[in-house]
Amino acid sequence: MTEFNQDTHILRNFFLHIPLFRSLGGAPTEMEELIRSSEMRMIRRGEFLFRRGDASDRIYIVHSGEIGIYQGEKLIALQRRGSICGEVSLLSGSGHSSSARAMFDCSVIVIPGESFVRLIESVPSVGRELIRILSERFRGTLDAPADLHPGRICSVSYPEQEERSGRMVFSLALAVREEGQRVVILTLNESSPLIFEKDRNLIEQLQGPESGRSSDLPVILNLEPLLVDGQEEQLRLNLHDLLSGLRRTFDLVLVDLANRPSPAAQAMLDDADESLVFYRKERPAASVGRAIRETNVDRRQKPGELPVFQGWRMDPVVNGATRRLARQLLQSSRGLCLGGGGARALAHAGCLDVFEQEGLEFDAVSGSSMGAVIGALYALQLPAKEIRKMIGRYLFHSDAILDKRLPFVSFFGGHRLADLLRSVFRGIRIEDMPLPFFCNAADLKSGQMVMFDSGWLDFALRCTVSLPGIYPPVEWNGRTLVDGSVMNNLPGEILRQNGLSHVVGINVSPVADPLSARTGVNRREGLKGVYRFVNLPPILKIVNRSISVANRELLKFRLNDFDFLLNPDVGSFDLFDFHRQREILHAGYEEANRQLNGLREALRLPAGEQRNGNARGSG
Ligand X SMILES: Nc1ncnc2c1ncn2[C@@H]1O[C@@H]2COP(=O)(O)O[C@H]2[C@H]1O
Residue 67 or 347 with smaller CB distance to ligand X: 67
- Return left, alpha or beta for 590; rule: phi > 0 is left, psi -120 to 50 is alpha, else beta: alpha
According to the binding rule CB under 6 A, does residue 551 interact with ligand X? no
Alpha carbon distance 401, 490 (integer Å): 23
Stretch that binds ligand X, among 11-19, 37-45, 83-91, 189-197 (CB under 6 A): 83-91
According to the binding rule CB under 6 A, does residue 87 interact with ligand X? yes
Backbone phi, psi, residue 467, to 5°: -60, 125
Among 27, 88, 297, 317, binds ligand X (CB under 6 A): 88
Please report how close the Cβ of residue 346 comes to ligand X at its closest, in angstroms. 44
Which of 424, 452, 453, 461 has the alpha carbon at shortest distance from 436?
A: 453
Identify residue 212 by its one-letter amino acid code: G
Residue 53 or 245 with smaller CB distance to ligand X: 53
Please report how close the Cβ of residue 45 comes to ligand X at its closest, in angstroms. 18
Residue 83 or 488 with smaller CB distance to ligand X: 83
Which of 492, 494, 482 has the alpha carbon at shortest distance from 547?
A: 482
Alpha carbon distance 373, 153 (integer Å): 37
Question: In DSSP terms, which residues pair with 502 in a beta bridge?
Answer: 334
8 A C-beta contact, residue 50 and residue 56: yes
Please report how close the Cβ of residue 273 comes to ligand X at its closest, in angstroms. 12
For residue 481, the surrounding DSSP H or E stretch is: strand 479-483
Catalytic residue among 353, 363, 443, 483: 483
Alpha carbon distance 337, 339 (integer Å): 6
Report CA 217 to chain centroid distance, whole Å.
28
According to the binding rule CB under 6 A, does residue 66 interact with ligand X? no
Stretch that binds ligand X, among 94-102, 325-333, 371-379, 511-519 (CB under 6 A): 94-102
8 A C-beta contact, residue 85 and residue 60: yes
According to the binding rule CB under 6 A, does residue 96 interact with ligand X? yes
Alpha carbon distance 427, 440 (integer Å): 20
Residue 99 a catalytic site member: no
- Return left, alpha or beta for 93; rule: phi > 0 is left, psi -120 to 50 is alpha, else beta: left
> Which three-class secondary structure string do you get for 216-285?
HCCEEEECHHHCCCCCHHHHHHHHHHHHHHHHHHCCEEEEECCCCCCHHHHHHHHHCCEEEEEECCCCCC
Please report how close the Cβ of residue 108 comes to ligand X at its closest, in angstroms. 12
Among 6, 23, 37, 97, binds ligand X (CB under 6 A): 97
* Contact string (CB under 6 A) for ligand X, positions 133-152, x = contact: ----x---x-----------
Please report how close the Cβ of residue 69 comes to ligand X at its closest, in angstroms. 4
Question: In DSSP terms, which residues pair with 277 in a beta bridge?
Answer: 157, 291
Stretch that binds ligand X, among 89-97, 184-192, 193-201, 355-363 (CB under 6 A): 89-97
According to the binding rule CB under 6 A, does residue 120 interact with ligand X? no
Torsion sign across C-alpha atoms 190, 192, 195, 200 = positive
Stretch that binds ligand X, among 88-96, 227-235, 316-324, 384-392 (CB under 6 A): 88-96
Residue 100 or 547 with smaller CB distance to ligand X: 100
Identify residue 306 by its one-letter amino acid code: L
Stretch that binds ligand X, among 76-84, 275-283, 403-411, 420-428 (CB under 6 A): 76-84
Report CA 618 to chain centroid distance, whole Å.
17
Please report how close the Cβ of residue 100 comes to ligand X at its closest, in angstroms. 6
Residue 56 or 262 with smaller CB distance to ligand X: 56
Residue 88 or 550 with smaller CB distance to ligand X: 88
Please report how close the Cβ of residue 172 comes to ligand X at its closest, in angstroms. 26
Residue 107 or 366 with smaller CB distance to ligand X: 107
Please give the sequence-ordered ranges of beta strands (E in DSSP) within 294-353, or none if there are none.
334-338
According to the binding rule CB under 6 A, does residue 331 interact with ligand X? no
Residue 454 a catalytic site member: no
Four-point Cα dihedral 452, 455, 461, 465, nearest 10: -50
Classify each residue of 92-115 as buried b or exposed e, where b means 16 or more C-beta atoms within 10 Å of its C-beta. eeeebebbbbbbbbbbbbbbebeb
Give the N- to C-terminal CA distance of the chain in Å, as an integer: 34
Catalytic residue among 56, 369, 466, 501: 369
Please work out the total of residues on this chain that contact ligand X, with binding judged by CB under 6 A.
16
Please report how close the Cβ of residue 82 comes to ligand X at its closest, in angstroms. 13
* Contact string (CB under 6 A) for ligand X, positions 24-63, x = contact: --------------------------------x-------
Please report how close the Cβ of residue 139 comes to ligand X at its closest, in angstroms. 10
The pairing of strands 437-443 and 479-483 is antiparallel
Identify residue 345 by its one-letter amino acid code: A
According to the binding rule CB under 6 A, does residue 586 interact with ligand X? no
> Which residues contact ligand X (rule: CB under 6 A)?
56, 69, 76-77, 79, 85-89, 96-98, 100, 137, 141
Residues catalogued as catalytic: 369, 483
